[in-house]
A and B are shown apart, each in its own frame.
Chain A
Amino acid sequence: KQEVTQIPAALSVPEGENLVLNCSFTDSAIYNLQWFRQDPGKGLTSLLLIQSSQREQTSGRLNASLDKSSGRSTLYIAASQPGDSATYLCAVRRRGSSNTGKLIFGQGTTLQVKP
């Protein structure tokens, strides 16, 4: 059974700092991995999607890496800003299942960037 874990559960950093969020998964047979942002009381915004054959994806100040063999992904945020404050969720999509659309989510990391 696939399990996704995110550490830390919460993180507080001063503005301008670079930071890394971690995501680990127990089953390396994944189709892809996706990072989402969720603001309080809101839905999910997709940030980056990494296919199983890829190592990393970049978008602006965000860089996500994927190491399937070790079951890990990181989300790197450069030069953090107060507007980056949100909960960040990672989710893996299974491979080879009859329901290939199913996403397994981690518990999220709540980030606070202090001005």
Chain B
Amino acid sequence: GAVVSQHPSRVICKSGTSVKIECRSLDFQATTMFWYRQFPKKSLMLMATSNEGSKATYEQGVEKDKFLINHASLTLSTLTVTSAHPEDSSFYICSAELAGVASDTQYFGPGTRLTVL
């Protein structure tokens, strides 16, 4: 089946540093990838939609200069949290949409736990 990986699975960083999270579709091509954020005991909140070769579409209230998204190939999207602060600590999950499939199913990665000290 379709597998999505994320790297790293968890990261701890100091306040003010930048952190890059990778999302890869391992066995399929994904024209669209999505980035979500999840707070403890809360639901997933869509941050942005990433299309290969074009600029990401950010949801209302999400700072595009804070959360940089690059979708350079059909199998890789990256999320960079710039100048991270403790309030950016969260669980970040990506998903990838199988290109050309009528069901338009999204396949989710295992998530990345970010802790900013």
Mark A residues whose CB is within 8 Å of B: 31-32, 34, 36, 41-46, 49, 51, 89, 91, 93, 99-108, 110
Bound Cα distance A100, B49 (Å): 10
- Closest chain-B Cβ to A110's Cβ sits at a distance in Å of 8
What total of chain B residues lie within 8 Å of the partner, measured CB to CB?
A: 26
Main secondary structure of the interface of A (DSSP, over half): strand
- Assuming the A-B contacts A49-B103, A101-B106, are A41 and B44 also in contact, with contact meaning beta carbons closer than 8 angstroms in the complex? no
B49 adjacent to A105 (CB under 8 Å): no
B103 adjacent to A43 (CB under 8 Å): no
Mark B residues whose CB is within 8 Å of A: 4, 6, 32, 34, 41-46, 49, 57, 91, 93, 95, 97, 103-111, 113
Q: Chain B residues near A105 (CB, 8 Å)?
A: 43-45
Told that A89-B44, A101-B49 touch, could you supply 7 new A-B pairs with CB distance under 8 A?
Answer: A32-B103, A34-B105, A44-B95, A49-B103, A91-B44, A93-B104, A101-B97
